[in-house]
Amino acid sequence: MSRRIVLASASPRRRELLAQVGIPFEVMPTDVPEHGRPEAEPAALAEALALEKAQAAAGRVAEGLVLGADTIVVVDSRVLGKPADAADARAMLRLLSGRTHQVITGVALIDRQSGTTRHTDVAHATTDVTFLPWSDEDIDAYLRTGEPLDKAGAYAIQGYASLLIEGICGCYFNVVGLPLALVAQMLRARGVPVRPAPLGG
């Protein structure tokens, strides 16, 4: 039996990723602040934020599975969230230039039945991303696209930043915003038969 899946996120990238692998879902955005958290360890922070997003939506769901996610960028143990403005984005990109950093996405899945939380799964995925050296001209040109301003770490791997990324080690989809293989494992554990659909079907 199929189950209702609720994505507790307004991210268009997460919606696109779930849709492209044929997972049916509905969207229930939440408003969870992403700064000022006490967790010192980045993976714990990503998981905590994902869980808070899922919990915020779960209170409005009587039956179904509520999926929350949060992606952070980490360099030298420093967490980079979304830039406050263009100057902040420029500083982030200069920090990442020519270096390898980590992208961590926390994922939380809450199983709601009869208005009660029956089970909560929390996990995370980590991907190493290596940037080529970016000149100030490269960074300024990228900032003019407007793409960095609402992205963790001030870049989108699936966008213009792909021209300046040397390589990755780990899940590409994690860097986009949702580690699909991990999500599929979590859904299967809750009885959702996630598998490829027939071509043309």
- Note if 150 is an active site residue: no
Q: Is residue 157 part of a domain?
A: yes
Q: Is residue 199 part of a domain?
A: no
Q: Is residue 127 part of a domain?
A: yes
Q: Which residues span the domain enclosing 85?
A: 5-189
Q: How many domains does the chain have?
A: 1
The span from the CA of 127 to the CA of 36, in Å, is 24
Question: Considering all CA atoms of the chain, what is the largest pairwise distance in Å, rounded to the nearest integer?
Answer: 56
Q: Are the beta carbons of 164 and 131 closer than 8 angstroms?
A: yes
Q: Is residue 196 part of a domain?
A: no
- The CA distances from residue 42 to 33, 46, 60, in Å, are 16, 6, 29
Blockwise average pLDDT, block size 10, the chain, 201 residues = 86 92 90 64 92 94 95 91 93 96 97 93 98 96 93 93 95 96 94 70 46
CA dihedral sign, ordered 16, 19, 23, 26: positive
Q: Is residue 84 part of a domain?
A: yes
**CA 80: distance to chain centroid?**
13
pLDDT score at 198: 57
Q: Is residue 198 part of a domain?
A: no
| Structural tokens at position 48 | 């905590």
Phi, psi of 114 (to 5 degrees): 55, 40
Phi, psi of 153 (to 5 degrees): 75, 0
Q: What is the pTM of this model?
A: 0.91
Q: Are the beta carbons of 69 and 50 closer than 8 angstroms?
A: yes
Q: Is residue 197 part of a domain?
A: no
Degrees, nearest 5: CA angle 52-38-98: 95
pLDDT score at 3: 86
Which CATH number covers residue 127? Answer: 3.90.950.10
Q: Which of 193, 185, 173 lies closest to 24 in space, CA to CA? A: 193
Exactly one of 70, 76, 111, 136 is catalytic; name it: 70
Q: Is residue 195 part of a domain?
A: no
Number of alpha carbons in the 13 Å side-chain half-sphere of residue 34 = 23
